[in-house]
Structure 1
């Protein structure tokens, strides 16, 4: 059972976190191109896809800590310092993602490329919160970089286990 959980944990990292890390890193450069005006329709389409990848795979990546906690409890390692540090860094990464995803959507909305969900909510006449100022590409790049760096440190802790 332990090997199965380890395989599922590693697959969840690769399948869940990998796309979020890559797509969130690509988003700011595509946003810069969209703001520069070079083929704005294509850039808006690409931003929509990248934002959707981040949202969908962020949900899938919830499996990473679920399988991780299963492994840790199975091996009685929840009190080990490297694992506690990994848990704290994972929570911090989730916190960064809580700021990153809405900032991406705000940037997309500011370009006029609102998602289908946003368009449906707006057309239904539902009261929506006022839109926040769109995030600058530099801020999105910083958030993506911090998110990715946190996960790199977690990966190092998982392998090195100081």
Structure 2
């Protein structure tokens, strides 16, 4: 059962958070391109599609911490420092996504010329991606890791 939970956790991370990270990273540059060519409907459509990808996959990404907690409980590591730090960073990443990135994308859908929001959004997306990168490293290079690559 542990292998199944871990497999779903990892697959959910790859298939849900990966698209969020990529679509969110592409959003600000797509907005700039659409703002530079206001008559190009394709560029505006790209912005809308990237927002939809970010929004929809953000909902699907809830499976990542759910199955992560189930896996951690099954392994008996819920009290381990590396996992607690990972959970805190995951919560911060979720807060950045829900509280900053998605609202910023919505604002830019309405006003492609809002350069201040576009710059902030790029920074916020970078923070989101950095948080997830740290979580991935903690998941792989954790103390007591079976990979033999413990910190």
Count of aligned positions: 142
Residue from 138, 141, 144 that aligns with 2:125? 144
CA–CA separation in structure 1 for the residues paired with 2:79 and 2:4? 22
For structure 2, the residue ranges without an aligned partner over 5 or more in a row are 144-151
Aligned CA RMSD, in angstroms, stands at: 1.7
Partner of residue 50, structure 1: 50
Instruction: With the length of structure 1 as denominator, give the TM-score of the two structures.
Output: 0.83
CA contact (8 A) 1:72 1:78 kept: yes
Query: Deviation at 1:111?
Result: 3.8
Instruction: With the length of structure 2 as denominator, give the TM-score of the two structures.
Output: 0.89
Query: Deviation at 1:147?
Result: 0.4
Query: Deviation at 1:34?
Result: 1.3
Q: How does 1:1-162 map to 2 (within 5 A)?
A: 1-37=1-37, 39-98=39-98, 99-111=100-112, 136-162=117-143
CA contact (8 A) 2:32 2:112 kept: no
Q: Residue by residue, what CA displacement relative to the aligned partner does 1:63-116 show, whole Å, maximum 9, x if unpaired?
A: 00000000011111111000000000000000100110011011011249xxxx
For structure 1, the residue ranges without an aligned partner over 5 or more in a row are 113-132
